[in-house]
Amino acid sequence: MTSITDPSLSDSFSSAMEEIQNKQRKACEELMDATTEACQSHRQYVKSALDTCLKKFKDDEMVFETIQTFKRDLEQNSASLKEKHGAISEVMSEIQQKELQRADIIQKIEKLNEEHAKRKELIESQNKANKDRLRNLQKARLVFQEHLGMEIRTIHGKTQLIKGEKLQFVFRNINPSDQDSPYVVTMGINEDKTYQIVSSDPVIECMPVLERRLQETNNLPAFLANVRKEFISKARR
């Protein structure tokens, strides 16, 4: 058995221990290097993660600001849309009122046109009636003036009894004892274009009946013939 005091054994042990220490030192250095590398890698990862988070935070802030801006714009647009809707409602109400006014105006115009057409028809009818009366007067004038000695006068009455333009029919050759003695009927035309007997001289008692018959038949020659008969009858009494 080798003695511990053997110099070669002591050198071997020292060499072995030194080798172990070197290995341990190398292992520690490798561990330190690995730890340092891991720390650096970790720091880089943390820094990268922090940068990513900061960027994400800034992006989120921008998104939030954008959302707020959109929200404000939406509120403004909603208020503007509400205001425009109110304006549209007012315009529609005005349009409806104008449509009602237009319909009312159209109805009034149609009514006026109808009244105008009726008035025109009435005027045409009155003109026709006046022409018929004029022809009757002309016929009566020819018959009575040329054959019976009747005179037709136009007078302008200013008294309460005789107002406006009137016609006087003066009959002669009535009284056999006085051929030139005048027998007079004064007449005019009412606003409704009917004949009106103003007076007769001498008075004929049945004149209202003759006047009513004249208004019904519009036959002036027949009326004047009947008046002449009444004057003759009165002159012979």
Q: Say if 86 falls within a structural domain.
A: no
Q: Hey, what are 145's tokens? A: 């003036």
Contact criterion met (CB below 8 Å) for 182 and 119: no
What per-residue confidence (pLDDT) applies to 22? 84
Q: Say if 189 falls within a structural domain.
A: yes
Q: Residue 164: pLDDT band by 50, 70, 90 thresholds?
A: low
**pLDDT over 60 (residue 218):** yes
Q: Say if 162 falls within a structural domain.
A: yes
Contact criterion met (CB below 8 Å) for 188 and 167: yes
What per-residue confidence (pLDDT) applies to 161? 43
**pLDDT over 60 (residue 2):** no
Q: Say if 183 falls within a structural domain.
A: yes
Q: Say if 181 falls within a structural domain.
A: yes
Q: Say if 127 falls within a structural domain.
A: no
Q: Say if 44 falls within a structural domain.
A: no
**pLDDT over 50 (residue 120):** yes
This prediction has a pTM of 0.42
What per-residue confidence (pLDDT) applies to 231? 93
What per-residue confidence (pLDDT) applies to 146? 65
Percent of the chain with pLDDT over 90: 17
What per-residue confidence (pLDDT) applies to 36? 83
Q: Name the range with the highest mean pLDDT among 57-61, 113-117, 129-133, 222-226.
A: 222-226
Q: Say if 35 falls within a structural domain.
A: no
What per-residue confidence (pLDDT) applies to 91? 85
**pLDDT over 50 (residue 200):** yes
Q: What is the DSSP letter of 149?
A: -
Overall domain count for the chain: 1
Enclosing domain of residue 183? 133-235
Q: Hey, what are 61's tokens? A: 């802030």
Query: How many whole angstroms separate alpha carbon 169 and alpha carbon 177?
Result: 21
CATH number at residue 163: 3.30.457.50
* 3-state secondary structure at position 165: strand
Q: What does the pLDDT look like over 56-72, one tens digit per residue?
A: 878 888 887 888 888 88
The average pLDDT across 93-121 equals 86
